[in-house]
A and B are shown apart, each in its own frame.
Chain A
Amino acid sequence: MKISVASGKGGTGKTTFAVNFSLFLNNIKKNKIVLVDLDVEEPDCHIFLKHKNFKRKKCFREIPKVNEKCNLCGKCSEICEFNAIAVTNTKVIIFPDLCHSCYACIEMCPQKAFDIENIEMGEIHWGNIASNNFYFVEGKLKIGEVMAVPMIRQTKNFSAERFGENSYFIFDSPPGTSCPVIEATKESDFVVLVTEPTPFGLHDLKLAVETMRKLRKKFGVVINKAGIGDQSVSEYCYNEKISILGEIPYSREIAELYSQGKNIINLPSINKIFEKIHKNILSLL
């Protein structure tokens, strides 16, 4: 089972939901629970897990590196759609930030004049949390690295290989509606869209809903910070026949717990809400 937690807008409580929902499932399920932080630009789940001894490994992406067989014919530069290669009269210049690792230049070069170079793009951290059945994986993009998608892809693949198909995966996705979100949600069985009841929340929820419809995903909405704004998000969901899985009320207590990196699942009223959300997800699967 794979569930992605996403949101159009940042700061709506996506990470809070992903972490607490994972803890909730760990309490009630026999399956292995694997929480995977795919918000590789700003991964924050680990802050709420209080776990220090993560295992780590470096992640690389492959780019072309020109070798002595090059005769400066310029074909590579001609075919690269990303302008990542320039050929002058004397040399070939490669721009690693622009390279998408498509291999067209490497494999189409008439002289076979390219080797492969590994560029470090970030790290994967992982570990066993709290109980024997709860695992955590996070992808962390290196500062200054431009492309998040390859990092997300490797983190996801690593999780699948290591923890197998019978696990229950929760993916904390990046915010937005473009390529990183697609990468973090496209193989999931269900997507939870977390929003807040404000005009910003509504506007970005509409975009997220459009994205999930385009990907043909099953999804539902969790309204976080319920009470701070207006009813427009509920009205929109009602009109669009979108399931509201549950509402988590705003309280200063929750905001303060959050600020300290503490979880809310042990508050009895919150646990009840998560129970209801879980039940609603099961009914939609």
Chain B
Amino acid sequence: MKELVVISGKGGTGKTSLTASFAYLAGENTILADYDVDASDLHILLEPKIKKTYQFYGGKKANIIKEKCIGCAKCQEICRFDAVKNVDDKFEINKIDCEGCGYCYRICPTDAIEFKDNLSGEWYISKSRFSSTLIFAKLDIAEENSGKLVTEIKEVARNLANENNKDLLISDGAPGIGCPVIASLSNANYILIVTEPSLSGFHDLKRILELVKHFGYSAGCIINKYDINKKITKEIEIFSHNNELEIIGKIPYSDSFPKSLVLKQTVVEFDKSDIGKTVENCWGKLQSKL
């Protein structure tokens, strides 16, 4: 089984639109995973039927039992996350600020603090409208540990692929360069970076590629909207050549992307001519990398 992870560093480059198109082209014999657990969007285009729902416990949270609290303020003194608030000489923990370290729970002299598992999201095994299996998640608002959730669903996706003898897992990676994206990359066979020729796009490409190399993965890139700024496209091509980043393809700016999105179609379903063909060519080239 091979895993292709699509990432972008910068948002809005077309990562999810392209991932959905590859999912369409790969057909039913594929497993799909969405690691953007903060704001997962892949399911909008794949309109999956949810088969099974699982709960995600991201960690624990502390809570002060009012009746037992004697107001000694020890918890407030040691909390490094300023999560303990003083309300009329009684103390309360702000759940959003609580990091779940348990320090207060351990040192409270009257055992007035409980420390319980915190339900922080859900994840789903579903069937996409292309009949392939899609695993995606929804982290609750203002929750932590999205990296842990990514790791959890990645394991499920990889196991499902292996158990069902699927050859390919296509994953929509998390944004940024921090813990969720690092978790997205683990064990990947090939990383596709979707970029755009803007100074910000190029800046973020350099940072995300440094991260990819830091962990020793091989990667290729697609330059989306390449004709918005041909000068920077040229610079990205030179940069790629010098940094062993293969250019998988260049896609021109096209309103087929937002138009197909509004109809909740992938761009390859919507535009069977120019853009569709270009994306198909990218897919052909990607398959040869896996």
Render A188-219 as a binary contact track against B, CB cut-off 8 A, 1 for contact: 00000000101110011001001100110000
B108 within 8 A of A: no
Q: By the criterion CB–CB under 8 Å, are A179 and B144 in contact? A: yes
Question: For window 223-273 of chain A, which residues contact chain B by CB distance below 8 Å?
Answer: 228-230, 252, 255-256, 258-261
The interface-forming segment of A24-32, A109-117, A142-150 is: A142-150
A174 within 8 A of B: yes
A139 within 8 A of B: no
From B99, B253, B255, residue with most partner A Cβ within 10 Å: B99
Give chain B's interface secondary structure class. Answer: loop
A141 within 8 A of B: yes
Q: By the criterion CB–CB under 8 Å, are A9 and B39 in contact? A: yes
Q: By the criterion CB–CB under 8 Å, are A174 and B229 in contact? A: no
**Least distance between B99 CB and chain A CB atoms (Å):** 6
**Least distance between A28 CB and chain B CB atoms (Å):** 26
Give chain A's interface secondary structure class. Answer: loop
A60 within 8 A of B: no
Q: By the criterion CB–CB under 8 Å, are A15 and B41 in contact? A: no
**Least distance between A6 CB and chain B CB atoms (Å):** 12
Q: By the criterion CB–CB under 8 Å, are B99 and A178 in contact? A: no
A175–B175 CA distance with the chains assembled, in angstroms: 8
Q: By the criterion CB–CB under 8 Å, are A108 and B107 in contact? A: yes
Q: By the criterion CB–CB under 8 Å, are A207 and B39 in contact? A: yes
Q: By the criterion CB–CB under 8 Å, are A256 and B229 in contact? A: yes
Inside 8 A of B200's CB, which chain A residues have their CB? 15, 44, 47, 258, 261
**Least distance between A157 CB and chain B CB atoms (Å):** 11
Q: By the criterion CB–CB under 8 Å, are A200 and B99 in contact? A: no
The interface-forming segment of A65-73, A96-104, A128-136, A163-171 is: A96-104
Q: By the criterion CB–CB under 8 Å, are B143 and A178 in contact? A: yes
B176 within 8 A of A: yes
A275 within 8 A of B: no
**Least distance between B266 CB and chain A CB atoms (Å):** 12
From B11, B59, B211, residue with most partner A Cβ within 10 Å: B11
**Least distance between A38 CB and chain B CB atoms (Å):** 12
Q: By the criterion CB–CB under 8 Å, are B102 and A79 in contact? A: yes
* Given known A103-B78, A145-B178, contact A261–B39 (CB-CB < 8 A): no
Q: By the criterion CB–CB under 8 Å, are B176 and A143 in contact? A: no
B204 within 8 A of A: yes
**Least distance between A256 CB and chain B CB atoms (Å):** 6
Render B216-237 as a binary contact track against A, CB cut-off 8 A, 1 for contact: 0000000001001100100000
A42 within 8 A of B: yes
Chain A to chain B contacts (Cβ below 8 Å), 29 pairs: A9-B12, A10-B11, A11-B12, A12-B12, A42-B203, A42-B204, A42-B207, A47-B203, A79-B106, A81-B101, A81-B102, A102-B81, A141-B177, A141-B178, A143-B214, A144-B211, A175-B38, A175-B176, A177-B141, A198-B258, A199-B44, A199-B264, A200-B44, A203-B39, A215-B96, A229-B258, A256-B228, A260-B198, A260-B229
Closest 3 CB pairs of A and B: A11-B12, A10-B11, A102-B101
User: In the complex, given contacts A12-B12, A179-B146, A182-B142, what are 19 additional A-B residue pairs having Cβ atoms less than 8 angstroms apart?
Assistant: A9-B41, A10-B11, A11-B13, A42-B9, A107-B103, A108-B107, A143-B207, A147-B179, A178-B38, A207-B141, A211-B141, A211-B142, A214-B96, A214-B141, A229-B262, A256-B229, A258-B200, A259-B228, A261-B199
